[in-house]
Amino acid sequence: MKNQIKTVLLLTSLSALFLLIGYSIGGRSGVMGALVMSVAMNFGAYWFSDKLVLAMHRAQPIGPGHASRVYEIVQELCQQAKLPMPKVYVVPESVPNAFATGRNPQNAAVAVTDGMLRILDEKELRGVLAHEISHIDNRDILVSTIVASIASAIMFLAHMMQWVGLTGGHRDSENRGGVNPLAMLFTIILAPLVATLVQTAISRTREFMADESGARLSEDPEGLASALMKISDPKLLSRSQGVAAPSDMQPAFAHLYIVNHFSGGFVLNWFSTHPPVKERVKRLLALKGNG
């Protein structure tokens, strides 16, 4: 519940920022123009996200009887969660990771990499798959698309304001007078930064939610915690046969994976789509203590 409230508050603040900037630049027409354009750009990504992501990862569909037991575990977890059975894929990549995609539970897919299957035992794999199924149940693809639409609209408005500044333009008849230089500076430089920070904060909140709901679904917080520690440990990965270093992961899809290996130090964590693994593990083990 706490993470749900945080998501709503962050999304509200992002929407307020968008409305404030849009109205200051072009009044109601400025707001609507930017919103329509950003929604149009993100709708295609939302509608075809599963096909695009799976194709770019060369994901191979699997069914019952696969040696990994991934299909059977997903089936069991979906029955517990009362969700439709998603399509299940194995990705021929040696970097250990997993992701869920699809616009809704009826059109969803869960994928794990070969590298993930090589280093996790069944208990840990069950925890990872429960996390990904929770993303589907929590409608996180839809939430991230809404957030991306508003954030990209703010970016569009910032570029619009930059163009106004370069051409010496003025606000329309709905907003008579020249553009305030301070407002222009904020919109061009700070607004996209604030939008990015809020967008990544929402993403981190959704990851915490998927951890918590996934741990409850699998009834084993320790399994997911152990998996997270394994797939984020460079020394362990370097000693594991047939497992690649995190640097080989595709950065463009880092926000989808269960662990973002491109996270950095304290300041860079503000821009990370995922919380620090240590914090996630700490919260998961706390759930075990409360259980």
So which residues are the catalytic ones? 132
Give alpha helix (H) positions in 105-247. 114-119, 122-137, 140-167, 181-185, 191-218, 221-231, 234-239
Q: How far apart are CA 148 and CA 18, in angstroms?
A: 12
Beta bridge partners of 109: 87, 101
What is residue 8's three-state secondary structure?
A: helix
Report how far Cα 231 is from the mean position of its chain's Cα atoms: 18
Report how far Cα 187 is from the mean position of its chain's Cα atoms: 25
Q: In what order do the strands lie in the sheet with 108-113?
A: 60-61, 87-91, 108-113, 98-102
Q: Is the separation of the CB atoms in 217 and 133 below 8 Å?
A: yes
Phi-psi region of 169 (alpha: psi -120 to 50; beta: other; left: phi over 0): beta
Residue 156's closest CA among 40, 286, 49?
40
Its sign, for the CA torsion 255, 259, 263, 266, is positive
In the DSSP assignment, the letter for residue 274 is: S
